[in-house]
Amino acid sequence: MTVLRWLDRPAEQGVTWGVPWPRGEVRPGTPFALADPAGGQVPVQSWVTATWPDGSVKWSAHAAGPQPSPAETYELRPGATPAAPGRPVVVAREDGALRVGTGAVTWTIEEGGDTLARSVTVSAAEGEREIVRDVRLVSLHQDGPTPDEDGSVTRERAAGRVTRVSVEQDGPVRAVVRLDGDHGGRLPFTVRLYFYAGAADVRVVHTFVWDGDSRRDFLAGLGLRADVVMRDEPHDRHVRLAGPDGGFLTEAVRGLTGLRRDPGEQVRRAQVEGRPCGPIGNPEVAGRLHLIPTWSDYTLDQTSADGFTLRKRTAEGHAWVTIPAGTRSAGYGYVGGVSGGLGFGLRDFWRLHPTRLDVRGAATDLATATVWLYSPSAPAMDLRSWHDGMGQDTFAEQLEGLEITYEDYEPGFGDAHGVARTHELTLRVHDATPPSAGLAAHAAAMNDPALLAAPPERIRAAGVFGDWDLPDRSTPARAAIEDRLDFLFDLYVREREQRRWYGFWDYGDVMHTYDADRHTWRYDVGGYAWDNSELSPDLWLWYQYLRTGRPDVFRFAEAMTRHTGEVDVYHLGRWKGLGSRHNVQHWGCSCKQLRISNAVYRRFFYYLTADERTGDLLDELAVPEETFLAIDPLRKVREDVYTPDPSALSVGLGADWGALAAAWLTRWERHGDERAKDRLLGTMAGIGALPHGFLTGEARLDLATGRFDTSRDAVAISHLSAVFGLPEMCSELIALDLDVPGFEGAWLDYCRLYLAPAAEQEAEVGHALRGISLVQAHSRLTAYAAARSADPGRAAVLAARAWRKFSLDEDDQLNRNLLQREPDWRLTRVAGPHVLAPVEEAAFVSTNDTAQYGLAAIQNLALIREHLPEE
């Protein structure tokens, strides 16, 4: 049995979540039941998302429908029979279309064409009442950038065309329908519709891939649109648009408040509250209704993270009237009347600016609601390279550029073709205008979707994700490290807000390095700008969530996973499956590597939420080894002659193999993929057979066999090898006890020798290791060697070395760790005319150091906390 709690707060909407299980505890085919604390049975749908090597369940996923009065906690019971929902989700094919019914609403989805749904009806006393028609995607395209001043461009509209519909789940508690298509032959998209038993709301997850030519294609708008049937009198029709802090613009299409003649308090109150106005008793008003203007069109335009504008008009062809503006809209709206309408919205609306909500035709028989994922009011999306190359046409010139701006530039490589973005929306059909408090609750649920979670101690007991443990403040030294972990996370939350790390392509990422002279991050300096998972901030955040269970840490890590898995990675084209190193633009760097598209960064979110889109990203790495045919990561710095060869592909045994291992392991445990298993175990055996194991640095892979050439006898290390998920993957693999000869020994040798004294290194490999750097980060390797040592004396020596290297910046041959050298971790306030706005800064912080401090602290505390000295 597992006790589950809500991540944020009890929620009434449908929910999907994941739970890990200790090896051997839950056998395949085991049913699950869900109960509240009083023993009441809650209908639940369950499936397996990963298995252990022995076939037992490693991760299970579960779904429950909306609960009118949700409990604070629930019990998940393996081996018990689940309760059946009273109103199950039903998926049926009729007349060439899918009909999906939740008991509250029914969606009719055509098998192809220009709509995501042809019709949406609500269950009413008189039967099914149609509320919505033609849910669809729209996009706007320009043939040039929006002019600064004069000039003109041609703008055209394209409709999203569905080419394939598939049912991924068909109930009884949860159904998932996937629709794939494109916008007139461009902008491929995938949309998933999520239905829960008894729910009136449908979650919509939309992903599009940019396949344009950035020199001549400029996206000017991208939106989800639906028509709403309007049956009521204009004064019984309502428009609601969300402002900040739970507030709403509350309007009627034909307003009866503020008139020269009073229709009566009862009528006025009913209209404001969204109830039927009923007969208007004052004949001076009733006889003049046709002289009261009807407001047909509304727009809320979120142009930045700091402000939105509102306007309305009576009809097209007439002037707009401005409405008082605001700061950060919750991104939710409603249009309809007392006989029904549609609630619609976009999660993280202001964070993903420029965005927009539109209502058109509210005074006609068919209103249209549009959620713009990219607002047509904004300048068209411009994905051209941010500079002209500055003459860096040769590798030598590019390496010189790297020396000054840290940007790895190469002509033609700063191309966005193939990057993607995912948005989460909601559509909720109503049989009447909901009260304002209900709309505020719906908006809050959209922006912080419900999640049930196993507590940290339960996840830890399952033995997943390697070396981590719960926070421990039992001694002053341990408490000091925990305080610093909290300081760093809170700093990045603060920095995201005060630096406004928001926007369509940017939200979810953080910056790489700080500029203390300008009191800002180096947003405009080559390779120092957007971080793009450099040195694994994703991992740091997810491990911090696992051990603390903090919802704010989860949300931050979730946003980063959404971003780094979509925007920083190519999903089609010549670099499909690879990601881009840090840059001023997320896709700007010529370093395209598997270390950025790394499956190790996505696994946490997938297993904790069973999110299908993240599953897609993991499936894109089904054959990750083939990406090494596309480009040689070391092409600019090689001293040997090498061209990618399918029979002898150069694979680094650090960041490269760590990413391969993560993809293969994940595919094996998710799908039982024997090919992935064979390549994982085969390359592990190859590393174990190399004369110097991981210390060899590089090996040649035969794509046909999935095996390394083990004849290479060399020693070559990189300080970057173990900072992109390799320690985490090796720990997981060794814990699986896969019986691969030599692998554990090869990894322990690397862990033991990397920070060993030069004499010890020379005694074992013939010379002292060169290029030793990121000392604090690598202290966790020494800690791992200590924890695995069977000799207590040797373990104590290694543990003492690990804590010393963690605490002191000594013997680093390449880098200065400002974080490690700063004794006083505190914020400094900077204000005045030399900064754009007052800020609180920690100028000694960089994301590289932060991520690796976090991982080293977490893993050292888990492995060797008893050896931590108090002084």
Average pLDDT over residues 681-709: 98
65 C-beta neighbours (distance < 10 Å), count: 28
Whether pTM > 0.75 for this model: the answer is: yes
Which tokens is 195 given?
């239905």
Quick one: 457 exposed, middle or buried, by C-beta within 10 A (0-12, 13-18, 19+)?
Answer: exposed
Average pLDDT over residues 91-112: 95
Quick one: 636 exposed, middle or buried, by C-beta within 10 A (0-12, 13-18, 19+)?
Answer: middle
Banded model confidence at residue 542, pLDDT cuts 50, 70, 90: very high
Each residue's pLDDT tens digit, 196-237: 999 999 999 999 999 999 999 999 999 999 999 999 999 999
> Quick one: the chain helix, strand, coil %, rounded to 5?
30, 30, 45
The Cα–Cα gap between 58 and 502 comes to 36
For residue 52, the 8-state DSSP code is -
Average pLDDT over residues 640-665: 95
The answer to whether the CB of 752 falls within 8 A of the CB of 788 is no
DSSP-derived secondary structure for 114-154: S-SEEEEEEEETTEEEEEEEEEEEEEEEESSPPPSSS----
Q: Is residue 538 helix, strand or coil?
A: helix
Whether 126 has a pLDDT exceeding 80, the answer reads: no
pLDDT at 637: 87
The answer to whether the CB of 561 falls within 8 A of the CB of 604 is yes
Whether 820 has a pLDDT exceeding 90, the answer reads: no
Whether 150 has a pLDDT exceeding 90, the answer reads: no
Banded model confidence at residue 128, pLDDT cuts 50, 70, 90: confident
pLDDT at 215: 93
Cross-strand partners of 359: 298, 369
pLDDT at 253: 98
Each residue's pLDDT tens digit, 774-803: 999 999 999 999 999 999 999 999 999 999
Cross-strand partners of 646: none
Query: Which has the closest alpha carbon to 420: 563, 234, 596?
Result: 563
pLDDT at 96: 86
The pair phi, psi for residue 416, each rounded to 5°, is -85, -5
Cross-strand partners of 342: 335, 429
pLDDT at 814: 85
Q: CB under 8 Å, gap of 24 or more: what pairs does 575-578 form?
A: 575/418, 575/630, 575/631, 576/418, 576/620, 576/627, 576/630, 577/620, 577/621, 577/624, 577/626, 577/627, 577/630, 578/627, 578/630, 578/631
pLDDT at 809: 78
Cis peptide before 68 (omega within 30 of 0): no
Whether 641 has a pLDDT exceeding 90, the answer reads: no
Each residue's pLDDT tens digit, 308-364: 999 999 999 999 999 999 999 999 999 999 999 999 999 999 999 999 999 999 999
Average pLDDT over residues 397-409: 96
Banded model confidence at residue 554, pLDDT cuts 50, 70, 90: very high
Each residue's pLDDT tens digit, 270-310: 999 999 999 999 999 999 999 999 999 999 999 999 999 99
Whether 691 has a pLDDT exceeding 90, the answer reads: yes
The Cα–Cα gap between 106 and 213 comes to 40
Banded model confidence at residue 640, pLDDT cuts 50, 70, 90: confident
Please identify which residue in the block is written with the tokens 């930045």: 304
Q: Are strands 698-702 and 649-652 parallel, antiparallel or unpaired?
A: antiparallel
The answer to whether the CB of 851 falls within 8 A of the CB of 535 is yes
Cross-strand partners of 242: 248
